[in-house]
Amino acid sequence: MQIKEHFRSHLLSLQNTICTALEQCDGKAKFKEDIWERPGGGGGKTRVMANGNVFEKAGVNFSQVDGVVTPAMKTQLQLSGHYFYATGVSLVLHPSNPFVPTVHANYRYFELYNQHHQVVDAWFGGGADLTPYYLWEEDARHFHGVLKNTCDEFDSSFYPLFKKECDRYFVNKHRNNECRGIGGIFFDHLRGDEIRSIDFYRLFTQTVAEAFLPAYLPIVHKRQLLSFTKDNKYWQEIRRGRYTEFNLVHDRGTLFGLKTNGRTESILMSLPPTVRFDYAYEPAAGSPEYELQKICEMPRDWV
């Protein structure tokens, strides 16, 4: 089986596994599926659930698109082939309880072809990152720990490298370089070379994708029943404002999708369900909200 078919079939099964686990965890909401086609080639399977016991809004999207490399793709993604193929699963979960963190993950594979449809480049990318509104350090250590252990099975240099990439990417530059959350891992352009085949990176990407549920769900179970106040919810909505700003102003995937006629509703499923934008909001010094903000201002090592 070709790499892309192998990975694609893993992604479809991953989408099912994750959706089943999330529905089970939620106990109330069910995913609604929208199957869509892309005019230029390919399409996707978007799954969103809303207003659950645990998840206020959750999207787990599969897509597989292919076609001609457009001028916009050349400029924005710096791609040099004639045709492309891209497949991935992308998920964003927004819990309603402010003590349960928001999480994002994405696993993808890209192929580029010349005018004779021969593969000229191919790579894997992906990652997972956590955005808490209140922080228990044990949760941060757990999330990063699972990702590190999984990376270490492949190469002990991966976790430190991909953790740093993540801290560099999810940054609101217009907010004094404040990070969106407490990070995780982020990797891109993992290509086969003389030492390691592209299949090594396929296996790596699939394995970290499978680590998503064990990295995240135990944190949900621990925090989902904690009772919270209106003030806690208010703070969550303020921070969701920062999430919205990052996704709409800085996120390359979102902007690329929106500017190249991607399926808007699938791309913007990442936006939080309810959001507040207050002028010059500042949490009281020393409060748990203030502590969370300080943590986002300066990425730390968690494991």
Instruction: Give catalytic residue positions.
Output: 104
CA distance 46 to 64: 11
Helix orientation angle between 212-223 and 198-210, rounded to the nearest 10 degrees: 10
CB of 34 to a second copy, least distance (A): 7
- Give the residue with the Cβ less far from a second copy, 76 or 149: 76
- Give the residue with the Cβ less far from a second copy, 21 or 271: 271
Residues lying near a second copy in the complex (CB under 8 A) are found at: 34, 48, 50, 57, 59, 173-175, 237, 241, 244-245, 248-249, 255, 258-259, 264-265, 268-269, 271-280
- What residues have CB less than 8 Å from 243, skipping those under 6 apart? 102, 131, 180, 271, 272, 275
Tell me the sheet residues that pair with 76.
none
- Give the residue with the Cβ less far from a second copy, 192 or 241: 241
CB of 82 to a second copy, least distance (A): 26
CB of 244 to a second copy, least distance (A): 7
Would you state the structure tokens that stand for residue 130, as one six-digit string? 């956590």
* CA–CA distances in Å: residue 146 to residues 99, 130, 142, 143, 209: 20, 13, 6, 6, 11
CB of 70 to a second copy, least distance (A): 15
- Give the residue with the Cβ less far from a second copy, 51 or 207: 51
CA distance 92 to 102: 7
Supply the Cα-derived Rg of the chain in whole angstroms: 19
